[in-house]
Structure 1
């Protein structure tokens, strides 16, 4: 195994004064493997801007612009994160969820709102 060494000593990370974190279980428990690049980008953005409870408010237009995503692609990314169990969403409120509960595996969404959101995103993607 290679020996770790700091490459750029003047830029070693420190804990910033604002609140933010990425839970290592995102990788260890393979959540990240169930995300495509757009869903991972949305998750990273939401983790970065969330408060201590995981909450943030961002409009679709703002998120799509900041992440360079078409609105339909943003909807698909959000649906994927909901399905994987990484976020909860009630327009306009996002909540980054704790990873303490095992993530649901791929399968049909269990509630009607999620099913409708995924269907809408899929239809929008075909026409985008």
Structure 2
């Protein structure tokens, strides 16, 4: 049986079922996965554009565009230096 590690996170299926996934390109989704993976219980995380770019093999410009997409898709809030993953709308 699988043992869930102490530092575990998951992706809400509504990301796909409610088609949030269509609102962003691969850069946006990569940044979203990074933010979800390292967010705390309130959905807060911090990554500088430079660190996120290095981890995701993107340019700083790509990270800014990814962030813009996620904000427009209502997936995150951003107030430098903090990101917050937002709750997805609708019933599960």
Instruction: Give the TM-score normalised by the residue count of structure 2.
Output: 0.90
Contact 1:20 1:51 in 2 (8 A): no
**Matches of 2:79 and 2:2, distance apart in 1:** 34
Stretches of 4+ aligned residues off by more than 4 angstroms: none
Contact 1:38 1:77 in 2 (8 A): yes
Q: Can you give the 5+ residue segments of structure 1 that lack an aligned partner in the other structure?
A: 1-11, 102-128
Larger RCO (CA under 8 A, 6+ residues apart): 2
Alignment pair present for 1:37 and 2:19: no
Task: Please state whether the residue corresponding to 2:6 is helix, strand or coil.
Answer: coil
Instruction: Give the TM-score normalised by the residue count of structure 1.
Output: 0.66
The structure number with the bigger radius of gyration is 1
Kindly report the root-mean-square deviation, in angstroms, between the aligned alpha carbons of the 2 structures. Answer: 1.7
Q: Can you give the 5+ residue segments of structure 2 that lack an aligned partner in the other structure?
A: none
Aligned residue pairs total 91
Indicate the residue corresponding to 2:84 in structure 1. 95
**Matches of 1:33 and 1:14, distance apart in 2:** 32
> Cα offset for 1:14?
3.8
